[in-house]
Structure 1
Amino acid sequence: MNSIDRLKDYHSTRLQAMRSLFEIVEQSSEGTVIVDRDARIVWINERYARRFGLADPAEALGQPVERVIPGSLLREVAHSGQPILLDMLDTPKDPLVVMRLPVRDEDGRSIGAIGFALFDELKRLSPLVRHYLSLQEELASARSLLQARQARYSFAQYIGTSAAVLEVKRRARRGAASEAPVLLLGETGTGKELLAHAIHAASPRAHRPFVSLNMAAIPENLLEAEFFGTAPGAFTGASRKARPGKFQIAQGGTLFLDEIGDMPLHLQGKLLRVLQEKEFEPVGSNEILFSDVRLITATSCDLEEAVRQGKFRADLYYRLNVLPIHLPPLRERPEDLPALCEAILGQLGSDHTLSPAALALLARHDWPGNIRELRNLLERAILLGDDPYLDEAMLAAALGPLPPPAPAAVAAVTGENYRQAMQRFERELLENALASAGNALEAARRLGLSRSTLYRRLAALGISSR
């Protein structure tokens, strides 16, 4: 076969394939229409003509396509030469899934367009639509959960310019740039959770979840499930569905464990295994899950003393204590009080200002509840006073009687060390607060502590809350 014959055979095969393809699509579709370059109908099959109210397809010939098929985009395809492969077309009967293709001459110029109505019953597409909608719902849910678990604070919200605060921020920024565990140490109310949020927000994991868990707020028998999740029906009363734990929810992000010193010993060993092996098993499951979580922990207790007393594992302490950051109590940075008061008043939506004497009074206070206590005090002063200018008398009334200072002289006489003296002072402070307040809730409010923190300290000191 010479080259001319091969060329003829090529054209013949091509034309036959195109004719066969057209016949197959036309016969299986719900309707077919062809228009010229001016979008006038040159051919329409009977099914399509009847759908649009024409008894005879010949009635449509020569008419603009939009007059017969309202909403048609065949004119656009004929002019642009670009196909519209899948689209929805509303019709008086039912919506149609349609495909529109350009028709070209031998030189490749667009000379018209052809449209196929692929489906007239959308239920044929329902499995695909359901799958698509399901994926959309899952994506929306994931976005919602991620947004709810984003960091709420930045370093700008850890307020202060004292040397101690600047050192905290320097170390915290170093921690944000690394994957090393960070251990936040400080009294209650010093801003440990705020700083944990800020470290996450400044880290490469900022776009991933930030998940927090307070060891003191969860009953001991539920902590393991909170940590690692549960398999379906893992124990009596458990859900038939698997329940993810905090390590799964925080995957790829940051897990913040507050009051880590209150973690039970048996759980400390399991946490150590996760840190070392990067894997864990949900409760009641034999499945091993991989863990990619950055850990930040915080405590208000002395972990070194807890290790000496056998209440905290030494190996876990060394794992967590890679980058310790000591958050100074408010009484050690009185120079930050003016900026803190201004920021807190702004957060409360107040235009109140403090007199120099009022600030001097605040500087003399010991602040056992630290910044949390300061916020409570300012909010109480705003509610109790009518004057936008807060003076010393107004703050003194809101502050109430100041607790007596620690009797250092007595400690020296009795031979107490620093820790013993501080425990005695704390016991006296809490006992006096309970006696004057009448109940634990009011005592916690006056001290600027959360109720759970007060109960924990009372239990540690052996003081009855009644």
Structure 2
Amino acid sequence: MKSLFERLEALCEGAIAVDRDANISWMNDKYARRFGLASATEAVGRPIEDVIPGSRMPEVVRTGAPIVLDIMVLAGQHCVVTRMPLVDEAGVLVGAVGFVLYDRVEGLKPLLDKVAQLQVRLTAAERELSESRRARYSLAAFLGVSAAAAEVKRLARRAASQDATVLLTGETGTGKELLAHAIHNLSPRAERPFVGVNAAAIPEALLEAELFGAAAGAYTGADRRGRDGKFKLADGGTLFLDEVGDMPLPLQAKLLRVLQEREIEPLGANRLLRIDVRVIAATSVDLAARVADGRFRADLYYRLNVLELAVPPLRSRLEDLPVLAEHILDDIGARTGQPLELDDDALLPLLRHRWPGNVRELRNVLERAVMVGEGSRLSAQQVMRALPAGPAPGREAEAPSSGEVASLRRVIADAERGAIQAALAATGGNKLAAAQALGISRAAFYQKLAQLGLG
């Protein structure tokens, strides 16, 4: 054996042997010097990974399979290496040997270039995937100067400081997804994945696999290697479940189990996987009403509704409309390369609209107004043409007579007065129910009543 090692030492650029525990049993001095050792005896008896971090020799010892040809980087230099298992006379695995065949790889340059290109592409793909699973918005993106907007931000900060499940409620287009991103970014999980899934946008037959994953061949057309679900992808971070009120009843039971047990069972699998995921759910429907009529599980509702954050509709925070319109026009202008702004009187038709589609509808209206108009200033006529045809429901504020210009404060007050009167009428004068319908707290509702002389 000594003669064999001496011959190999003369033929190669480095040689090493390990025992069955992957501890170094022999090493030539030439190889030892590569790792800053004065002699090979300093390495004998040490785990190989202490001397050569990332070595694959333990893999050879564990599996008994050779790695005939490999490229390893030593001190920034590519080397061609081979690793072989060692067996005794009885065929029992006793260790492994490795050799650096040569460190001049010019002949392998085309192959190494190809490997380098693939590595760059892999790194870029991993970076892109990582970015796609990061929250995009901060709390600063929820624009508003109203008391209602300030209350939403206060509750969002409170939710971010805790690790409990959050339920975001409110009409479509109010900014629930934005707030979910912001809560994640303010939380201790900010550096971990943020994964979103819309329960209403995925067919019921595929939703279980989308959420919990699927084993190989779990269903016709399934990936032969299986696939990870959104819960697994969000492990350590946050899962945003949008439109959770539209989830089918059978899946509601499985979601409840995940929230309680912190375990998922992929479709077609017979194993449970432990996960650590914070859930933020959102809905634009009345979950309590769905519980009452049997379309949503009561136990799941209580499990999701640990921290509820009601996002108010745009019509109940019209003070925020000017700053929202300005931000949206800045965004459109950045995309079109043309600065945009509203004429002084162009805000009035916006303030009189009821905004059933909320901030999302506001963006749509302003984009249409930009398309139908010319120049960088949007007039009241352009805005009115972009608004939905016919009178918007709840447009109680009276238009100023010809030549009269109403103050912004008056228009906002008139619009709020109309919204509150409509809510009280719809709820039979029940102030708590009216406040809930408007998406504001009871305290804020009573404050508005006093300010507007409706108390």
- Compute the TM-score of the two structures, normalised by the length of structure 1: 0.62
SS in 1 for 2:254: helix
Alpha-carbon separation, structure 1, partners of 2:321 and 2:307:
27
Alpha-carbon separation, structure 2, partners of 1:343 and 1:174:
26
Q: What is the Cα deviation at residue 117 of structure 1?
A: 8.4
Specify every segment of 5 or more residues in structure 2 that has no aligned partner in the other structure, as ranges.
15-33, 35-72, 82-98, 397-420, 429-455
Q: Are the structure 2 counterparts of residues 139 and 390 from structure 1 closer, same or farther at C-alpha, using a change threshold of 3 Å?
A: closer
Q: Are the structure 2 counterparts of residues 27 and 157 from structure 1 closer, same or farther at C-alpha, using a change threshold of 3 Å?
A: same
Match of 2:348 in 1: 360
Alpha-carbon separation, structure 2, partners of 1:159 and 1:325:
16
Aligned counterpart for 1:28 among listed residues 11, 18, 22: 11
Match of 1:218 in 2: 202
Alpha-carbon separation, structure 2, partners of 1:417 and 1:353:
37
Alpha-carbon separation, structure 2, partners of 1:293 and 1:373:
33
Specify every segment of 5 or more residues in structure 1 that has no aligned partner in the other structure, as ranges.
1-16, 32-73, 75-84, 90-94, 99-115, 420-466
- Cα-to-partner distance string for 1:9-51 (whole Å, 9 max, x where unaligned): xxxxxxxx9xx9x9667523369xxxxxxxxxxxxxxxxxxxx
- Cα-to-partner distance string for 1:232-281 (whole Å, 9 max, x where unaligned): 00122322111111111111111001111101111111000000000011
Q: What is the Cα deviation at residue 303 of structure 1?
A: 0.6
Aligned counterpart for 2:253 among listed residues 231, 245, 269: 269
**For residue 181 of structure 2, what is the amino acid of its counterpart?**
H
Q: Are the structure 2 counterparts of residues 96 and 282 from structure 1 closer, same or farther at C-alpha, using a change threshold of 3 Å?
A: closer
Asked whether 1:258 is paired with 2:242, we answer yes
Alpha-carbon separation, structure 1, partners of 2:76 and 2:150:
61
Q: What is the Cα deviation at residue 118 of structure 1?
A: 5.4
Q: Are the structure 2 counterparts of residues 269 and 183 from structure 1 closer, same or farther at C-alpha, using a change threshold of 3 Å?
A: same
SS in 2 for 1:324: strand
Match of 1:389 in 2: 377
SS in 2 for 1:273: helix
Asked whether 1:374 is paired with 2:362, we answer yes
Alpha-carbon separation, structure 1, partners of 2:218 and 2:133:
27
Asked whether 1:337 is paired with 2:316, we answer no
Q: Are the structure 2 counterparts of residues 306 and 239 from structure 1 closer, same or farther at C-alpha, using a change threshold of 3 Å?
A: same
Q: Is the 8 A contact 2:249 2:297 kept in 1?
A: yes
Q: Are the structure 2 counterparts of residues 121 and 367 from structure 1 closer, same or farther at C-alpha, using a change threshold of 3 Å?
A: same
SS in 1 for 2:197: strand
Match of 2:308 in 1: 324
Match of 2:26 in 1: none
SS in 2 for 1:216: coil
Q: Is the 8 A contact 1:256 1:295 kept in 2?
A: yes
SS in 1 for 2:309: strand
Alignment: residue pair count: 322
- Cα-to-partner distance string for 1:149-184 (whole Å, 9 max, x where unaligned): 111111111000100010000110111111111111
Q: What is the Cα deviation at residue 132 of structure 1?
A: 11
Q: Is the 8 A contact 2:195 2:240 kept in 1?
A: yes
Q: Is the 8 A contact 1:183 1:296 kept in 2?
A: yes
**For residue 233 of structure 1, what is the amino acid of its counterpart?**
G
**For residue 394 of structure 1, what is the amino acid of its counterpart?**
Q
Q: Is the 8 A contact 2:353 2:392 kept in 1?
A: no
Alpha-carbon separation, structure 2, partners of 1:23 and 1:382:
82
Aligned counterpart for 1:146 among listed residues 102, 115, 130: 130
Alpha-carbon separation, structure 2, partners of 1:160 and 1:306:
31
- Cα-to-partner distance string for 1:78-134 (whole Å, 9 max, x where unaligned): xxxxxxx94577xxxxx8779xxxxxxxxxxxxxxxxx98516769x9xxx999999
Q: What is the Cα deviation at residue 391 of structure 1?
A: 1.9
SS in 2 for 1:360: helix
**For residue 318 of structure 2, what is the amino acid of its counterpart?**
P
SS in 2 for 1:217: coil
**For residue 398 of structure 1, what is the amino acid of its counterpart?**
A
Q: Counterparts in 2 of 1:16-165, with a 5 A limit?
A: 27-29=10-12, 86=74, 119=102, 141-165=125-149
Q: Are the structure 2 counterparts of residues 293 and 86 from structure 1 closer, same or farther at C-alpha, using a change threshold of 3 Å?
A: closer
Asked whether 1:239 is paired with 2:223, we answer yes
Q: What is the Cα deviation at residue 377 of structure 1?
A: 0.8
Q: Is the 8 A contact 1:164 1:333 kept in 2?
A: yes
Match of 1:175 in 2: 159
Q: What is the Cα deviation at residue 143 of structure 1?
A: 3.6
Q: What is the Cα deviation at residue 332 of structure 1?
A: 0.7
- Cα-to-partner distance string for 1:406-464 (whole Å, 9 max, x where unaligned): 699xxx9xxx9649xxxxxxxxxxxxxxxxxxxxxxxxxxxxxxxxxxxxxxxxxxxxx
**For residue 178 of structure 1, what is the amino acid of its counterpart?**
Q
Asked whether 1:191 is paired with 2:179, we answer no
Alpha-carbon separation, structure 1, partners of 2:250 and 2:286:
19
SS in 2 for 1:348: helix
Alpha-carbon separation, structure 2, partners of 1:303 and 1:117:
67
**For residue 151 of structure 2, what is the amino acid of its counterpart?**
E
SS in 2 for 1:257: strand
